[in-house]
Structure 1
Amino acid sequence: MSPADTVAAVFREEYGRAVSVLLRTTRDLDLAEDAVQEAFAVATERWPREGFPEQPGAWIITTARRHAVDRFRREAARGGKEAQAALLHAAETAADGNVPGHDFGDDRLKLVFACCHPALAMPARVALALRVLGGLSTPQIAAAFLVSETTMGQRISRAKAKIRDAGIPYRVPSAEELPERLAGVLAVVYLIYNEGYSAGLGSPRARTDLCAEAVRLARVLVQLLPGEPEVRGLLALMLLSESRQAARTGGAGVLVPLAEQDRGLWDADLISEGLAIVHHCLQRGRLGPYQIQAAIQAVHSTAPSASATDWPRILRLYGMLSRISPGPVVELNRAVALAEVEGAASGLAVVDGLALGGYHVFHAVRADLLRRLGRVGEAATEYAEAARHAPGPGERAFLEARLRELQAG
C-alpha cells in the first residue's frame, strides 16, 4: 500500500471519530471538521517523510486540537473565544500526556443524534450525519439520495448553519426525546452501512470500516433502546447482509449476484444471529420497514439454493413494505420478486412505471427482464446504461460482462 493509500485508509477509519471528539470540546461543527481536515493535510505531508505514528487516530486528534486552539486564539478578539481556547489547550495537554488512552466511547453516536435533531428536515439530518460521521464526499451523498451534487451541498450547508444558530446540543438525548430522532438515526446508520457495502465491490478502497462501524452503532442502539423492535430489525438486516460479504465478489473483484453466490462462503454465525433477531421481532408483532427488510433477507439466507428461494413469501413481504414505506426503490425490488412469481412481463410492467432513470439498479433490473422476454436490443441498451451509472468497478465489470454475453448471443 502506498503512503497516500495508507493516509486515505486512516481518513476513512478515523475521520468521523476525530470530528466527534473535536466537537465535544469546540461545540462548533464547522470548526471541528476544518481542524480534522487540516490535521489530515499535515499528515499527508509529514507521514510519508517522517514515518507513520503508532496510533494515527490519536495523532490526528491531537493535531486537530492544536489547529482548533490556534483558530480560537486568532478569533479571541471577537469575544468569548479565549476561554474556549484555554479549555481546548488543557484537553490537548492531557491527550499528549496519555496518547494511547483516547476514550472515544460513543462520541460518534452523540454526533449522529446531534445531526438528527428534529429541527432539521429528515433528508438534511441524514445527509449531514453521513458527511461528518463517515467523511463521505458531497458527490457520494448526492448519489445515495439520487439528487444533484449542488442540491446536496446546499442541503448540508443549511443543516450545519441551523445546528450552529440554534445551539443544538451535542449529546445523546433523554428518553423522552429519543422517539422523534430515532427514524433519522436509523436511516443514517443504514446508509453508512450501504456506503461501505457498495464501496467494497472491486474497489481498491473498500470501506469495510464503514460496515463495521454501522454494525457497532446498531449494537449500541440496541443496548440504549432494548424495547425498540426497529433498532433490532436494522441490526438483523445488516448482519444478514454482512454474512454474504465473502461471496459477493469473484475474480478481479467483479460482482457476484445473489443467485450465483457460493453459499458455502456465507458466514453461518452472522446468519444465526440475524435469524434469531428476526424471529424475536416477528414474535413481538410490531413490524416496521427495517424488520420487514430483515425478514426478506432471512428468506434468502435460509434458502439452500437460489432455485429453492421462497419467492411468493418474499413478494408478500415486499407488499407489506410498500404499504408502510412506499417508494420507487421498494417497488423496484417488489417487481423483481413479482417477476419470479408471475413472470418477467408482470415485473416489467411495474418497472416501466417507475421514475428511476439514472439509477443503475433500475437499468440492470429492466435489462434482465427484457432479456428474459427475448427483447435483446432493448436489453443491451439497458445493460449499457446500467454500466454507465454503476457506482463502482465491481458492478460495472459485471454489467459489461452481461452486455457482452447478450451481444454474443
Structure 2
Amino acid sequence: MASDILKDLPELVNGNLISAETAEKIRLHYRNKSKDSSHRPVLVFGILGALITGLGIILIIAHNWDELSRQTKTILAFIPLLLGQVAAGYTLLKKDGEQNRKEAAATFLFLAVGATISLISQIYHIPGKISSFLLTWMLLCLPLVYLMRSGTASLLFLLGITYYAAETGYWTYGSSENYYYWPLLLAVLPFYFFLFRKKPQSNFLIFHNWFLPLSVTIALGTVARHTEEFMFIAYLSLFGLFLQLGSLSFFNSQKLRNNGFKICGFAGTVALLLFLSFETFWKSLGRQPFKAQDLISPEFISAVLVTITAGLFLFRQYRQKPLTELNPFEIVFLVFALQFPIGYLYPLAGAVAINLLTLFLGIFTIRSGARQDSLGILNFGLLLITALVICRFFDTNLTFIARGVLFILVGLSFFAANYYLLKKRKTA
C-alpha cells in the first residue's frame, strides 16, 4: 500500500494535484513509519535479551552461592548493579537516540537493583518485610523511568507498586502502608502523559492503557477495612470513570482491544451489577447497623472522592453535548449511589431496582446495536440479558418448566435479533 502511494507521487506532482513539498512530506512520513516498524523487533529482542541475561547471572550465582565467602558474595551482589549503571550511563551519553538500547539498559538495571537489594539483605541477614523491599526497590527505580524515558521500566514499576499494594492491603492485616501506593502511582503518571502526547502510536502506550486501569482496580480494594459495603459505590464510580476516559476522542479513534479503560469499565460495571442483582447482598447490608463514625471511614471517603471525580468528568464530557449522546453505562454509578440508601433500608427494593437497571442497559445496548448495524453490540446486549436471566435462575423459586420456557425465549431472541439485523443489511 505504502509503496504504491510512493510510486504515484511523481505523477501526482506532474499533474499539479499536489505540490513537491507535500510529496516530500509524504515520503518522509512513510520513511519514518518504516523505520519505526523495522526497529520494533530489535526493541522487543533487546528487552528480552536484558531479561534473560539478568536471570542467567542470578541463576549462575545462586548455583554456587553457598560455597562463596561473604566478601565474594558482596562483590558478586554489586556486579549486576554496576554493569547496569555502566550500560545505562553509556546509552544516555553516547546512544541517547536509540530507544531500543535505552529500553534494554533500563530493564537490566531495574532488575539489577532488586537483585542487589535482596542479595545484600540475605548476605548480612538484614531483617525486613517484602513490602519494605518492594517500596525501596520502586523508589530507587522511579528516576530510571524518566532518565531513560523507558516504557519497560514504567510497566515494571506499575507491576511493582501493584504487588506492593496487594502485599500491604490484602495479605498483611491492619497495615496502613498500602496508602503509599497512591503517591507512587501519581509519580509515574507524568510519564504516561508523555507517551500519550509524544508517542500516541507506541505499543508501550497500549500496554499502559491496560496496566493502569487494572492496577488501580486491584489497589482500590486495599482501603477496605470494616465498612466494605461502601466499596461497591467506589468501584462502580471507578468503572464509570474508566468508561468516560475510554470514550475520549483519542481512544475512540483506535481499535477496541487497545482501549483498556473502556473494556475494564464495561466488564467491571456489568460484573458488579449482576452481583448486586441478588437480594441476599441487600439483606446482608441491614445486618450491619449504620453508625455516624462510618462517615469518616476510609471506605466512605474513598467512595465520595471517586464518585465526585467521576461526576466531574461526566459533567465536563457532556457539558456541550446533547443528552441523546449520553451512554447509560457511564451514569450507572450515579444511579447506584442515589439508590444505595433505599436498598440499605429496603433490600427487596434495592434488588428490584438493580435488576430493572440491568435489564434497561441490555435493551438499550440491543437497540444501539440495531441502529449502528453492529452484530457485536447487539449480541453484547443479548448476553447481558441472558446473564441476568441465569442469575435469576439460581435466585428464584420458579419451576423448572418456567425456567426452561424463559431460556427458550432468550434463545429465540438471539436468533430473531441477529436475523433481523442480517436481513436489514441485505435490503440496505
TM class by shorter chain equals 0.3 to 0.5
- TM-score normalised to structure 2 length: 0.32
Structure possessing the higher radius of gyration over alpha carbons: 2
Greater percentage in helix: 2
